[in-house]
Amino acid sequence: MKVHLSFDVEIWCDGWDELDRKFPAQFERYVYGRSAAGDFALPHALEVLARHGLPAVFFVEPLFAGRFGIEPLREIVALIQNAGQEVQLHLHPEWADEIRPLPFEGARVKRQHLSYYSLDEQVTLLSLGLRLLAEAGAQPIKAFRAGSFACNADTFKALSQIGLRYDSSLNPDHPDSGLDLRAQQDFYRPSRIEAVETIPMTVFRDGLGKPRPAQVGACSFVEMRAALESAKAQGLEHFMILSHNFETLVPGSTKPDRFVVERFEQLCAYLAAHADAYEVCGFNSPGFSVRLGGPPAAISAPLLASARRHLEQLARRLL
């Protein structure tokens, strides 16, 4: 079973006011997460991956560079690629109205999701994102993930037009993901839409029967391990895991969240120790291909594994 460790790499400024004043400190937090205990954002993820010999996919959001210049984006790309990891395209188009000059006239009004833009506007934004990543030194770019998973049918037409081959924007548990595709599209198994092969975000049923995305910050390690084993036992071809560059930080601070730090360490150690069962790979990995279709997904985790998550959440609040 192919396992994809994916990171959405993005920077936010705690609102849209005083962006130029806030950006330097927010860049340091989101990219480095510096604290007395060490750097716990991107450098930490890259170090853990390197120590366990695992490849990952870093979907990097580049549109902020249209406001703040290419150098901060170049710094992010260099951190990732110098560690031997791959960069792919991520877009949060709410940056579009902050770009100067505007990418198109309609960008004057802030719109949060890519699905709120026309086909031509999506082509323009995706093309701009590719140009910015290329200028920052990222290569080769083959894959895309929409911010907040908010793709639609036009997104796949746009991706086909600009020549991106792979996508990971479908998420059956996210309310804004592929709303106009849900009636005819499989959101659980890899498929082809237009000329694009898409690997959806993996979602499993937790011990209470509720859908749970396979996200490092949202699952206990025991849950994630159980979901991986459940998917493997059913013969699934792909398992997509999500994290973020800032996910190992306590929200709103640069302090490390020791629970998430430990989860990620345990997950990487487990995958490295079970290389005979799991092929951890990215879109640029040698010989990579998407295995379309596969058996129906019924991935689950037991009650005790989900109870561990609730105990961890309680401990995090108390601490």
- Sign of the Cα torsion 22, 319, 265, 177 reads negative
What are 119's two structure tokens? 């086909």
Look at the chain and count its residues.
319
Distance CA 104, CA 95 (A): 13
Distance CA 68, CA 63 (A): 9
* Res 239: pLDDT: 97
* Res 297: pLDDT: 76
- Burial profile 151-176: b = 16 or more Cβ within 10 angstroms, e = fewer: bbbbbbbbbebbebebbbbbbbbbeb
What single letter denotes the amino acid at residue 96? A
What single letter denotes the amino acid at residue 24? P
* Res 200: pLDDT: 97
The phi, psi pair for 166, rounded to 5°, reads -125, 155
Contact yes or no for 212/223 (Cβ under 8 A): yes
* Res 277: pLDDT: 97
Distance CA 39, CA 265 (A): 15
Mean pLDDT by runs of 10 across the 319 residues of the chain is: 98 95 96 90 97 98 98 98 98 97 94 98 98 97 98 98 98 96 94 97 95 95 96 95 96 90 97 98 96 86 84 76
* Res 66: pLDDT: 97
* Res 253: pLDDT: 87
Q: Which of 159, 228, 171 is CA-nearest to residue 197?
A: 159
Distance CA 18, CA 3 (A): 40
Find the helix or strand (DSSP H, E) in which 204 lies: strand 203-205
Distance CA 284, CA 264 (A): 22
Domains and CATH numbers, the chain: 2-318 (3.20.20.370)
* Res 314: pLDDT: 80
Please give the radius of gyration of the chain, using alpha carbons only, rounded to the nearest integer.
19
CB atoms within 10 A of CB 143: 28
